[in-house]
Amino acid sequence: MRPDPQAAPATRQTATESDMNLQPPDFDQRYFRSALGRFATGVTIVTTETADGRPWGLTVSSFNAVSLEPPMVLWSLSQTASALPHFIQAKRYVIHVLSASQLHLARRFSMGTQEERFRDLALARSPHGVPMLADTDTAAWFECYNEARHRAGDHTIFVGQVERCERRYGQPLVYHAGDFDLTPSIEPIPDN
């Protein structure tokens, strides 16, 4: 709608100096975490190899696309995570997008020691030799060159340039409101 030319001119508001500066949040960390939980995300397991040749991996829900050209993705890891030094030093890692049938793997890689996570688990090697899940139910995987790392607050953001990827058709596993969730059925909704 166009403004009425007969109307009085609008008064121009100026921002005060306090409006221009960063203000402290008006919520606590628990509330913020709960608000973030309203955003459903996929669930991944990120794997790499330590300097002494051991497989290392963990469950991550902070995965996102960055660029199509070149193909790049990102994920983040807490500064307090025991895995942080291994992923900072790694040249490559593999991000596995989990399917709905892999809830057991998401839970397995979210707790316990690395030895417990990998015990009796079938592994394969990516094209560049990074340990990866051999589970054929994985919805997709991305082998990434560890392009950049950025410290942001209490996390490190990893930017990976994707060198290889593969995808399968199937329902992904979802993380929502602080828990794992299964995606809706692919069956059509009845008309009745």
Q: Which domains does the chain have, with CATH numbers?
A: 28-177 (2.30.110.10)
Which pLDDT does position 177 carry in this prediction? 66
Which pLDDT does position 9 carry in this prediction? 55
Neighbouring C-alpha atoms within 13 Å toward the C-beta of 153: 4
Instruction: Spell 43-76 as b/e; 16+ CB within 10 A means b.
Output: bbbbbbbbeeeebbbbbbbbbeebeeeebbbbbb
pLDDT in tens, 11-69: 555 556 556 888 888 888 888 777 766 667 889 999 999 999 999 999 998 999 999 99
